[in-house]
């Protein structure tokens, strides 16, 4: 981050010290936090940065329009295709998508939504059997 980008409305002739004096304490604090976050991310491993940013952006998600799909055609096309596709195609694309998503840094809430949607697809007796098998094997304990 540079000072020129911090306050684009400042007069072109103002010095850095004059600009700093004109900023409110709240703005200066926000700028310091942003600078610190930028510095920290810049010194993290790229995969960690991707995971941190993906998690944070997922937490900010509002459920509104998806960037790059402004008209909703991508989602609409996917829903239409999924309604028309035979089961074997849905399984092939679904498992390929899940395998790909496993390697992409996603926030924990996004992963929970995926898991919850998969979980809902199981009948109650299959859910119970799965939970019982985990408890029996001891792999379900934290």
Section 24-50 average pLDDT: 92
Distance CA 10, CA 32 (A): 18
pLDDT at 138 over 80: no
Tokens of 29: 């604090």
Distance CA 26, CA 66 (A): 32
Closest CA to 7 of 27, 25, 36, 34: 27
Closest CA to 89 of 81, 101, 100, 79: 81
What Cα–Cα distance (Å) separates residue 134 from each residue in 22, 119, 121, 131, 140?
Answer: 61, 15, 18, 5, 5
How much is the pTM? 0.47
* Mean of the per-residue pLDDT values of the chain: 80
* pLDDT tens sequence across 56-89: 877 776 665 555 666 767 778 888 888 888 888 9
Banded model confidence at residue 19, pLDDT cuts 50, 70, 90: low
Q: What pLDDT score was predicted for residue 60?
A: 73
* pLDDT tens sequence across 20-35: 666 788 888 999 999 9
pLDDT at 12 over 70: no
Phi-psi region for residue 63, left (φ > 0), alpha (ψ -120 to 50) or beta?
Answer: left
Q: What pLDDT score was predicted for residue 2?
A: 47
pLDDT at 92 over 70: yes
């Amino acid at each position: 981050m540079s000072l020129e980008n911090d306050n684009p409305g400042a007069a072109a002739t103002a010095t850095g010290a004059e600009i700093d004096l004109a900023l409110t304490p709240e703005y200066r604090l926000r700028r310091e936090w942003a600078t610190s976050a930028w510095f920290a991310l810049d010194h993290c491993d790229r995969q960690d940065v991707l995971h941190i940013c993906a998690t944070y952006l997922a937490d900010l998600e509002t459920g509104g329009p998806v960037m790059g799909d402004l008209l909703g055609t991508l989602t609409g096309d996917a829903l239409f295709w999924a309604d028309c596709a035979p089961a074997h195609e849905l399984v092939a694309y679904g498992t390929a998508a899940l395998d790909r998503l496993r390697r992409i840094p996603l926030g924990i809430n996004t992963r929970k939504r995926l898991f919850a949607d998969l979980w809902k697809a199981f009948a109650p007796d299959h859910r119970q059997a799965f939970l019982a098998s985990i408890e029996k094997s001891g792999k379900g304990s934290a």
